[in-house]
A and B are shown apart, each in its own frame.
Chain A
């Protein structure tokens, strides 16, 4: 139960929230002291983001009270909340793609010099400092459009840090970050805590929650099912509180492809000017090849080149022994390669399309006879909704009304619906809860059993190690090495990825 504290920074009393006639928060009460780090966990669609939106002015509560700094708090706009010291790092990026990094960091909060003109120099310097503190090698003058997803995440964090927050809300800030980057972020959070800033930290990675938080609140279907200190809790207990039963095993026994399985995808000497250098690898039917590496190591670029979004300068790609010229996504899909992009709202799904139209977006031909048959679309979508437990009122619901994790499940369904023979997953479990994760893993395994060849790009080492029998590690646009079987370990991967090992041995 809530620990009593007379010095509460924030208190939520019986907060309700409805969208139209649907209530998604059913009376949540919480209290948070100064310098507290609260972990907020729950399944996809439990209402975590919604609760945070009620705090940061994006949404208004439909019942209950919020008491902030001892008085009733009512922010009707994000600007109100920011003025009160409540800063949010949203789940979906909120950056202007056509602006530079430093312009984004100070958007709406521009530094001004004499005559009220923009003080560009000061903003650039301050941005550089903020990003350096985060250990992010991001050029403050590059356009956000050109940044990787992880770099964008760091820009979002830097933007939040540019304010002096009393309460910092972080909605799944770590989904695209690797272990080291998360540690740097945690260092920043600890420093904020020492300065008296309170933090609400949302994540599906329970280990992180245990590591950084003082308290943990668990939401299930819009209700607060537990709120306590972190002491004495472990991952299994948190998972049990989230889903109401003990979690099943995450990873099953790894399947090795049959010894005589034919090679499905063979990439040889693939190069893209300035991005990829001489990459060769092959994947057999029923095999999953993991791709590990640091941010900017070129994994996404490699995937996009195979999928035909980027042009290769040299090298060739063979599918089942036949050389293919993939210069557009259409050609790639037609020859059996599907791709799940990492940037969900930027390249993955259409937020103003329904669940059904998103699922069939790339495979629409199959639903035309010759006119589109909505019934068959809905039937197909319904199948995925059930298979992945997508939490949605119906298949006609627009994606913008779904929670982030459920949008991700739709994105996976869209790729699968093309019935590919090679599937490239780029951060497939970004933002989805542990139960859904194990479902996705099981699904990937069943696809492997049916002879699908998979490429798995992930910043989650546990995921890569748990799923793949072979792991390629990339560094600076080139393959740094390949690990298989017993050679696979987190250390071995990190050595290859960072190049430390490579340097010392030469």
Chain B
């Protein structure tokens, strides 16, 4: 059944209410949780996959999916650090490394976009393929090890606080705001929604649908590169085996929890941010409560399924 007026209001704000409820419960039940430092830590922890989730939201609204982001994050972070290791001057090294990481991210995203739109490979398959490729390249480059740098500027940047807020957190929030403008206030955003709603209608309405789709992947790639660069700065190192592992699922889950429709056409970046925070808070509080680490993913899974169950769905007509 389609839901109307009162219930649709409830559904639209469900993620926000869930976040509020979760915060209240966690703050009451755990004194460790409610410490400001812990709360800030959560936001930093989620920011890396969160930044990627913003791009993923565009991809999903446009009717696609990107499974390669986790591997691409490792690849761009690794190449960033490798660049840094070659350049003596810390400042120059930092700048050039940033450019390299962004470029690698963008390039990886562009490859996905080209495969999907020029090669007409279904997104799931195309990005499943690049997911393996990017990870494997990363392993090869580092001999399956961890790459570290002693560039102090990088470490300072990774741990930088602005008004006591970690840089990655700030980046996530600012990008959410910018992304919302992009989605709701520009032609590109409108075209992404049109593409995901009905590709044929969009094409007949003179929208260059392959190009729009390409940019959603390229944008996600760029954000992944940024995220990889920030993650590397956290400990001045990147592990080729574990960096970004499972981020694609976190990003997809966050978008879905935030109300983005898996079949495309509609979604919100504020919702995705809420989804990211909900996932982060749950992982954190489970530790505080002393729940076995083995069970944490089960709880996460329940949250994801529950969120989708609550989404308004198209009436199934026969």
Contact = CB atoms under 8 A, between A and B. Distances in A.
B116 interface: no
B6 A361 contact: no
Contact of A372 (B5, B185, B203): B185
Contact of A364 (B187, B203, B266): B187
A333 interface: yes
Interface in A59-82: 77-79, 82
B190 A372 contact: yes
A362 B206 contact: yes
Interface in B73-127: none
Contacts of B193: 353
Given A79-B318, A94-B317, A372-B187, A350 B194 contact: yes
B252 to A, nearest CB: 21
B21 interface: no
Contact of B318 (A108, A351, A353, A357): A108
Interface string B192-210: 0110011011111111100
A227 interface: no
Contact of A350 (B5, B186, B197, B317): B197
A21 B205 CA distance: 34
Contact of B205 (A82, A362, A365, A368): A362
A392 to B, nearest CB: 15
Contacts of A82: 318
Contacts of B200: 346-347
B197 A352 contact: yes
A414 B187 CA distance: 16
B212 to A, nearest CB: 12
Contact of B194 (A77, A353, A365, A372): A353
Interface string A10-22: 0000000001110
A94 B316 CA distance: 11
B262 to A, nearest CB: 14
Contacts of A79: 318
The listed residue with most A CB atoms (<10 A of its CB), out of B194, B197, B204, is: B204
Contact of A21 (B5, B185, B186): B5
B186 A341 contact: no
A77 B201 contact: no
B194 A348 contact: no
Interface in A339-356: 339, 341, 346-353
B187 A368 contact: yes
Contacts of A29: none
A124 B91 CA distance: 73
Interface string B281-318: 00000000000000000000000000000000001011
A350 B185 contact: no
B201 A348 contact: yes
A350 B190 contact: no
Contact of B5 (A20, A77, A108, A365): A20
A108 B317 CA distance: 12
A352 to B, nearest CB: 5
A65 B317 CA distance: 23
A378 interface: no
A364 B208 CA distance: 13
A309 interface: yes
A350 B201 contact: yes
Contacts of B186: 368, 370-372
A58 interface: yes
Interface stretch (A32-40, A251-259, A324-332, A456-464): A324-332
A329 B5 contact: no
Interface in B1-52: 4-6
B204 A78 contact: no
B181 interface: yes
* Of listed B187, B203, B318, residue having the most chain A CB within 10 A: B318
B265 interface: yes
A339 B203 CA distance: 12
B266 A347 contact: no
B197 A353 contact: yes
B204 to A, nearest CB: 4
A347 B197 contact: no
A299 to B, nearest CB: 16
A271 B208 CA distance: 25
A351 B198 CA distance: 9
Interface string B231-275: 000000000000000000000000000000000011000000000
Contacts of A347: 200-201, 204
Given A309-B203, A329-B206, A352 B266 contact: yes
Contacts of B6: 20
B318 A77 contact: yes
Given A371-B185, A371-B186, A372-B185, A330 B206 contact: yes
B205 A414 contact: yes
B24 to A, nearest CB: 31
A362 B202 CA distance: 9
Nearest to B264: A352
Contacts of A21: 4-5
B204 A309 contact: yes
Contacts of A350: 194, 197-198, 201-202, 265
Given A357-B190, A371-B185, A352 B265 contact: yes
Given A78-B318, A365-B187, A372-B185, A332 B206 contact: yes
A371 B204 CA distance: 23
B190 A364 contact: yes
A341 B204 contact: yes
Contact of B203 (A58, A329, A353): A329
Contacts of B207: 330, 361-362
29 contacts: A20-B5, A20-B6, A94-B317, A307-B204, A309-B203, A309-B204, A329-B203, A329-B204, A329-B206, A330-B206, A330-B207, A332-B206, A333-B206, A339-B204, A341-B204, A346-B200, A347-B200, A347-B201, A350-B198, A351-B198, A352-B265, A352-B266, A353-B194, A362-B207, A364-B191, A368-B186, A371-B185, A371-B186, A372-B190
Given A21-B5, A350-B201, A371-B185, 9 more contacts: A19-B4, A20-B4, A21-B4, A82-B318, A309-B204, A351-B197, A357-B190, A361-B207, A372-B187
4 closest Cβ contacts across the A-B interface?
A20-B4, A78-B318, A20-B5, A329-B206
